[in-house]
Amino acid sequence: MQHTQCANHIFSYTLRGGDFDNAGRISTSLKRELRTREYPPHIIQRVAIVLYEAEINVVSYTKVGYFFAYCRPNSVHLVIKDKGKGIDNIKLAVQEGFSTATDEIRRLGFGAGMGLSNIKRNANVMRICSKPGVGTKISIDITSRNHYGDLIMDITVNEIQQKTNFELLTTKADCSKLITGGYVGDMLSDVNANGKKGNIWITILTHPNAVAVASLKDFSAIVVAGGIKPRDEFIKRADEEDIPVLYTDLSAYEVVVLLSSLGVTANH
């Protein structure tokens, strides 16, 4: 298991398939981190159980699994992506008692078809995407809030601007918008296909067409990175379309690192 801590809010781990000896270490390691950060005990406990079951799944059924934990105020968002055999029928797999476990897994005390249902039981929201033969992605929200509507982060464009000190180029556009996630790209067709509503979009593009895409996708803001400052036409159009534009000469990669540390996650 390798562990990387990215600023304060995001933890990532890697676990290899078959590594039964280390299954459970990610869970206990993140548990310690959450304790240090004084998360409520019921959140910590649920995160620990979910991660542990996910670790068992990764060592049992995959070649490798990548674990991401986004720790936000009052909630933890977990994403587990694996390269594995995938799940043929997700509905069936989530049912208690359904199992494709081998004898080895059963000897360990698992494999009774409780893994995914245990994860679901402890999650406020669970999403599974899987492709047989390719792998599985599970994203899970664990929160103390009873009502969990959309995946909106507790951070606004304004706060991003204040915390990063990026230069705000627009003057009229609304900076109080909440951010739903981040997307990076300089190819408009890709951004158009994969950006999500409310995203903060990081790009080095300075052509006004970029604003049109941001508006079409209803992004919360654009961060122009890389050091080429957009011209007046770009900014004027952004103000008209109500898209705040932040500017920095940091590279797109550096911007991602900064935004990650503020709790902005990728789209899931």
Partner 1 sequence: MKLSEIKDLLNADVIVGEDMLGSVEVETAFASDLLSDVLAYAKERALFITGLTNPQVIRTVEVLDLIGVVFVRGKVPQMDTVELAKRKNIPLLRTKCIMFETCGRLYGAGIKASIEKVD
**Site residues (vs partner 1, CB under 8 A):** 20-21, 23-25, 27-28, 31, 45, 48-49, 52-53, 56, 107-110, 112, 114-115, 118, 121
How large is the C-alpha radius of gyration of the chain? 20
**Residue 216 one-letter amino acid:** L
Tracing tokens 């105020």 back to the chain, one arrives at: 73
Q: In whole angstroms, how close is the CB of 113 to partner 1 at the nearest point?
A: 8
* Nearer of residues 32 and 131 to partner 1, judged by Cβ: 32
β-pairing, 181-184 vs 199-203, is parallel
* Nearer of residues 56 and 128 to partner 1, judged by Cβ: 56
Instruction: Quote the CA–CA distance of 120 and 122 in Å, as a whole number.
Output: 5
Q: In whole angstroms, how close is the CB of 246 to partner 1 at the nearest point?
A: 41
Q: In whole angstroms, how close is the CB of 122 to partner 1 at the nearest point?
A: 9
Burial of 32 (0-12, 13-18, 19+ CB in 10 A): exposed
Instruction: Quote the CA–CA distance of 180 and 137 in Å, as a whole number.
Output: 19
* Nearer of residues 39 and 110 to partner 1, judged by Cβ: 110
- Which of these, 169, 244, 162, lies nearest to 199 by C-alpha position? 244
- Please give the span between the terminal C-alpha atoms of the chain, in angstroms, as a whole number: 24
* Nearer of residues 51 and 200 to partner 1, judged by Cβ: 51
Token couple for 128: 């599974």
Q: In whole angstroms, how close is the CB of 257 to partner 1 at the nearest point?
A: 31
* Nearer of residues 122 and 265 to partner 1, judged by Cβ: 122
Q: In whole angstroms, how close is the CB of 94 to partner 1 at the nearest point?
A: 14
